């Protein structure tokens, strides 16, 4: 990433939400194969305490050693294997035992003589949100390996060591600790990829590499309630209106007005659920003159009313 775009990169990372929906600790004797189906709109994360192989839907095979972690940001279908030709079972067909809220265990007894050390994997299916820059997820690699980042990001190693220790020793509360560590490690994988320049990715990533577009998009993210016209954004970018509109569409696949509307709605969902803000204040903060106008725009883009997305407060 060029030195001229750090603000937009920081904005992307500031808006990142990556948290587990459900987690599995898998302990299985060899040979074994566990298949994970495509999870649209969610990411898949695996930490390997004792290493199997990974075969992706594209047919690629990755050798995963003990202590490895990986993120599949687009939730592609894949299979964890102890050997390339091992028989495969869908993970949904395996018996589970609840460990705590959102964490369960899958174990397969070892019938071999003498018994062999089982493979141990901690897996998570995760909600992955990048705010207004959600299209960037589709530009990410099919598989993001932690092993490619450890030399440049040594702070990851203690977290991986902690995950390995918790998954193998199984001390009190280990399931909850593993779940939180998984969320952090997955977020660090994404951050490292972005800060290293997104590898050779194309498409929406070009926005981050274009300092002129970056300035305009950063302005929208910092002041989403502003009445941003193409003329105003072109001035932020320092280029003509026609050049800006053409370059914006080519890089993002969207018009500035559409991009701003979708950004506002993603922020609205966060304000409504996380900050628990009243709908009227959300509408005003995001630049709408009335709650009715906000509600119409919200339903058009999100597909439901603002009140319908508000999650109930759980009793503690």
7 inside domain: no
Q: Are residue 130 and residue 247 in the same domain, yes or no?
A: no
Judge whether 2 lies within some domain: no
Question: What is the residue range of 158's domain?
Answer: 17-195
Residues forming a β-bridge with 270: none
Quick check: 258 pLDDT over 80? yes
Question: What average pLDDT does range 15-29 have in this prediction?
Answer: 87
**Where is pLDDT greater, at 270 or 298?**
298
What token pair was written down for 50? 């004792």
pLDDT of residue 283: 95
26 plus 132 within the same structural domain: yes
CATH of the domain at 163: 2.60.120.10
Domain-located, residue 203: no
Residue 6 lies in a domain: no
Residue 1 has pLDDT above 60, yes or no: no
pLDDT of residue 118 exceeding 80: yes
Note the residue count of the chain. Answer: 316
- 134 plus 167 within the same structural domain: yes
Residue that terminates a domain, selected from 195, 225, 260: 195
Q: pTM for this one?
A: 0.77
End-of-domain residue from the set 195, 230, 245 = 195
Least confident of 64-78, 148-162, 163-177, 213-227: 148-162
| Tokens standing for residue 167 | 């998954």
Per the structure, the count of domains in the chain is 2
Given this model, what pLDDT does residue 153 score?
Answer: 77
Please say if the pLDDT value at position 303 is more than 70. yes
Check which CATH number belongs to the domain holding 260 and give it: 1.10.10.60
Considering the domain architecture, whether residues 58 and 111 belong to the same structural domain is answered as yes
Tens-place pLDDT, residues 267-286: 898 888 877 889 999 999 99
Final residue before a domain boundary, out of 142, 161, 195? 195
> Could you tell me if 104 and 242 lie in one domain?
no
pLDDT at 154: 78
């Amino acid at each position: 990433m060029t030195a001229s775009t750090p603000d937009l990169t920081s904005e992307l990372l500031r808006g990142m939400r990556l948290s587990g929906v459900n987690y599995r600790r898998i302990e299985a004797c060899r040979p074994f194969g566990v298949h994970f189906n495509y999870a649209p709109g969610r990411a898949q994360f695996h930490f390997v305490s004792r290493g199997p192989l990974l075969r992706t839907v594209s047919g690629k095979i990755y050798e995963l050693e003990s202590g490895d972690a990986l993120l599949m940001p687009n939730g592609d279908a894949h299979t964890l294997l102890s050997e390339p030709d091992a028989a495969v079972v869908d993970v949904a067909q395996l018996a589970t035992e609840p460990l705590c809220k959102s964490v369960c265990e899958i174990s397969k007894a070892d019938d071999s003589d003498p018994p062999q050390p089982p493979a141990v994997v901690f897996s998570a299916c995760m909600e992955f949100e990048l705010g207004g820059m959600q299209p960037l997820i589709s530009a990410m690699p099919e598989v993001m390996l932690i092993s490619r980042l450890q030399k440049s990001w040594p702070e990851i190693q203690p977290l991986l060591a902690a995950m390995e220790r918790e998954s193998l020793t199984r001390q009190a509360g280990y399931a909850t600790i593993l779940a939180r560590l998984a969320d952090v490690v997955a977020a660090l994988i994404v951050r490292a990829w972005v800060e290293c320049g997104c590898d050779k990715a194309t498409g929406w990533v070009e926005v981050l590499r274009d300092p002129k577009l970056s300035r305009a998009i950063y302005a929208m993210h910092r002041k989403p309630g502003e009445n941003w016209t193409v003329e105003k954004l072109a001035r932020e970018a320092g280029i003509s209106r026609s050049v800006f509109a053409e370059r914006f569409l080519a890089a993002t696949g969207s018009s500035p007005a559409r991009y701003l509307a979708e950004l506002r709605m993603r922020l609205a969902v966060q304000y409504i659920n996380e900050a628990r803000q009243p709908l009227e204040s959300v509408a005003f903060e995001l630049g709408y003159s009335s709650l009715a106008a906000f509600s119409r725009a919200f339903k058009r883009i999100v597909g439901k009313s603002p009140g319908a997305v508000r999650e109930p407060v759980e009793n503690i």
